[in-house]
DNA sequence: TTCTACTCTCGAACACTGTTCGCGTCAAGT
DNA sequence: ACTTGACGCGAACAGTGTTCGAGAGTAGAA
């Protein structure tokens, strides 16, 4: 029972009025929803709503939610610049690249979660990052095989770290609740039986959100120091 | 409109006939479903079906699906034995502990995925493992702070590795398809433009499922070598 | 200009999820 | 023997990703 539009009012010509739907615009909208409302809010319906349309419309430009996720990740990774390898400070460059990856993922809370849902990322910027990492590691004197394995481990750790970090700042608790939760954590650990948990007892203070960066730096430093040892054999 | 049971047939007295519902039995059933049919099959309905009941019945013993996930993880971690620290071979002990964690998670494909959904694991066996790791690292001469950070990194990497490994053997493709996918991978990488991806081009062969164990060993060796370097300062 | 062909849009529906409500039934306590 | 309280669970709700097919709009051909 649809009624034709009244002839005295010019037809709104919606098609031209609102920006055309495209893969890029869908990805952009999805990222906006992700940034504003978090991972759980990124549903096909919510994205469609953002574009003032229905969920079915998205499937003309994106075949899957998984594919959309891949596109989102790639769009985010595009912000990372890859350096020219400098053999004199290759280790610092590797660290920098990992830091950049994590920072970019932190800028879009929840993208790390999405990254885990993608089995093998073969998008353009993923490949670019992979190649750049390999080049740096080779500049450090590692064989291709060693570089491959090291790059895999670094990528894995970066994703894991970013995911955990996004959990801290976007679990289900908002910023205010996070601090409270942290203190509860410390208190709980202190309450453990001392004879069974002599070490864990005092760990609470090292585990706050403030030490997150420090934990990252430690892991990077240790791993790269190890790489230098292995490279000499 | 329920009809009373016919009097000539003795009422089945179901309540006593089938094993009583309990938290432990629910966790057991959930793990069976996970092992047999994978992560996606672990739904409240499927678990209930396994126990010959309805989904609502589970909520009397388990408040959440998240809580159930935590219980499942803890049940799996129970299989890991924690060693007495031996300062002479602490590094080998750390490796062994990480390997055990990964192996146990590989035994229940998909449990790694569940592990990521748990923000901060504070179940009994998680704590036991954490304490054991700290003890080993301290035996290696690390300060408590260093040990905490190192343990965090190792736990993160173990979870990440286990998750990726479970993806290879249980993505959406079954065993036969996995090999095919792997070869497609190699072929695709070979087809990349050589001037832009001189290193990635030759990486395919190192990335098969067969080298998974080798990658793990490399990462462990590098990280622990790095820890030894850092411990001396 | 008129008709056709084709692409894009999108309301409605399907099968599925986790979770809650509340009725009924059962087993033990008084 | 009767009450009581806890547990089992059918049905329903709100939400998910995805598909179908009719409709609208545009562009090209006759």
The full 3-state SS of chain A, as one line of letters, equals CCCCCCCCCCCCCHHHHCCCCCHHHHHHHHHHHHHHHCHHHCCHHHHHHHCCCCHHHHCCCCCCHHHHHHHHHHHHHCCCCCCCCCHHHHHHHHHHHHHHHHHHHHHCCCHHHHHHCCCCCCCHHHHHHHHHHHHHHHHCCCCHHHHHHHHHHHHHHHHHHHHHHHHHHHCCCCHHHHHHHHHHHHHHHHCCCCCCCCCHHHCHHHHCHHHHHHHHHHHHHHHHHHHHHHHCC
pLDDT in tens, B27-46: 999 999 999 999 999 999 99
**Cα(B96)–Cα(B227) distance, rounded to whole angstroms?**
16
Q: Which pLDDT value is given to residue B9? A: 41
Q: Which residue is nearest to nucleotide C20 (CA to C1')?
A: B56
Predicted TM-score (pTM) of the model is 0.87
Q: Which residue is nearest to nucleotide D8 (CA to C1')?
A: B57
The residue to which tokens 């998984």 are assigned:
A66
The C1' atom of D6 and the CA atom of A166 lie apart, in whole Å, by 41
Name the average pLDDT for chain A: 85
Q: Which pLDDT value is given to residue A178? A: 57
The beta-carbon neighbor of A215 closest among B152, B159, B185 is B152
Q: Which pLDDT value is given to residue A133? A: 97
Q: Does residue B21 lie within 7 Å of nucleic acid chain D, judged by its CB?
A: yes
The residue to which tokens 């830091």 are assigned:
A99
A121 within 8 A of A115, measured Cβ to Cβ: yes
- Taking residues A165-183, report their average pLDDT: 61
Between A186 and B165, the higher pLDDT residue: B165
Classify B144 as helix, strand or coil: helix
pLDDT in tens, B10-23: 334 333 345 567 88
Q: Does residue B57 lie within 7 Å of nucleic acid chain D, judged by its CB?
A: yes
Under 8 Å CB-to-CB from B112, ≥6 apart: which residues? B105, B159, B162, B163, B165, B166
pLDDT of A5 higher than 50: no
The closest nt to A55, taking CA to C1', is: C10
- Taking residues B201-225, report their average pLDDT: 91
Please give the residue of chain B at the shortest CA–CA distance from A135: B199
pLDDT of B48 higher than 50: yes
Name the pLDDT band for A188 (thresholds 50, 70, 90).
confident
Q: Which pLDDT value is given to residue A2? A: 36
Q: Which residues of B touch A138 (CB under 8 A)?
A: 199
The beta-carbon neighbor of A150 closest among B122, B152, B222 is B222
Lowest pLDDT segment from A4-8, A118-122, B62-66, B98-102:
A4-8
pLDDT of B162 higher than 90: yes
pLDDT in tens, B163-193: 988 876 654 445 555 566 667 777 777 777 8
Name the average pLDDT for chain B: 85
The residue to which tokens 């890991």 are assigned:
B80
**Cα(B210)–Cα(B206) distance, rounded to whole angstroms?**
9
**Cα(B170)–Cα(B164) distance, rounded to whole angstroms?**
10
Q: Which pLDDT value is given to residue A180? A: 63
Under 8 Å CB-to-CB from A82, ≥6 apart: which residues? A97, A128, A129, A131, A132
The C1' atom of D22 and the CA atom of A56 lie apart, in whole Å, by 14
């Amino acid at each position: 029972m649809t009624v034709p539009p009244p002839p005295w009012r010019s037809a709104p010509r919606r098609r031209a009025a609102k920006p055309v739907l495209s893969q890029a615009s869908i990805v952009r909208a999805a990222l906006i929803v992700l940034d504003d409302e978090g991972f759980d809010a990124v549903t096909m319906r919510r994205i469609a709503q953002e574009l003032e349309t229905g969920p079915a419309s998205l499937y003309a430009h994106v075949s899957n939610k998984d594919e959309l996720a891949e596109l989102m990740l790639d769009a985010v990774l595009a912000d990372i610049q890859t350096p020219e390898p400098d053999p004199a400070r290759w280790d610092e460059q590797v660290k920098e690249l990992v830091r950049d990856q994590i920072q970019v993922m932190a800028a879009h809370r929840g993208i790390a979660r999405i990254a885990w849902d993608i089995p093998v990322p073969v998008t353009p910027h993923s490949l670019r990052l992979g190649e750049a990492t390999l080049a740096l590691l080779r500049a450090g004197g590692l064989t291709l095989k060693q570089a491959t394995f090291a790059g895999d481990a670094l990528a894995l750790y970066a994703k894991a770290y970013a995911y955990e970090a996004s959990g801290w700042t976007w679990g289900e608790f908002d910023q205010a609740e996070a601090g409270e939760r942290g203190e509860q954590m410390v208190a709980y650990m202190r309450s453990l039986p001392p004879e069974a948990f002599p070490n864990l007892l005092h760990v609470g203070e090292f585990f706050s959100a403030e030490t997150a960066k420090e934990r990252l730096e430690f892991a990077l430093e240790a791993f790269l120091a190890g790489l230098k040892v292995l490279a000499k054999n």
